[in-house]
Amino acid sequence: MFVLYVSITLITALAAGAGTWMNYTRHPTPVAAAKQVQVPESWMVPLGTLQGLGALGLIAGFVFPPIGLAAATGLVLYFIGAVIAHLRVGDRHYGAVLPALALVVTTLVVTVAYRLG
């Protein structure tokens, strides 16, 4: 279980870190997605910061388990919000949102299972 926990947590942290970089650099992919769901481009850095904090929290969770659990929960809420943003405007082309949501939910489930032992 330890190897699964470490592996999925690192993969999720790397993905969230990549999302942070994409938002900070205003990569065309998240910018287009934001326009599609009518999210102002000025929100790109704050949204990227939330992803980055989630990534750092997952890594910190190796040493301080409650922080990792909080980070995984926060990332789940972040991507639920992204799904809601797509639904709000009637957009059914979620892009990477659904796979990302699946990844963070898996991370949360594995984290809870590992920590409860």
pLDDT tens for 19-37 read 999 999 999 999 999 999 9
Q: What is the pLDDT of residue 91?
A: 87
Percent of the chain exceeding pLDDT 90 equals: 93
Q: What is the pLDDT of residue 115?
A: 93
C-alpha of 37 from chain center: 17
Q: Where are the domains of the chain?
A: 2-116
Q: What is the pLDDT of residue 50?
A: 98
Q: What is the pLDDT of residue 10?
A: 99
- Which residue, among 44, 105, 52, has the nearest Cα to 77 in the 3D structure? 105
Tell me, yes or no, if the pTM score tops 0.85: yes
Give the C-alpha separation, 50 to 54, whole Å.
6
Are 38 and 89 within 8 A, CB to CB?
yes
Confidence category of residue 83, pLDDT binned at 50, 70, 90: very high
Q: What is the pLDDT of residue 117?
A: 83
Confidence check: pLDDT of 93 > 90:
no
Residue type for 83, please? Answer: V
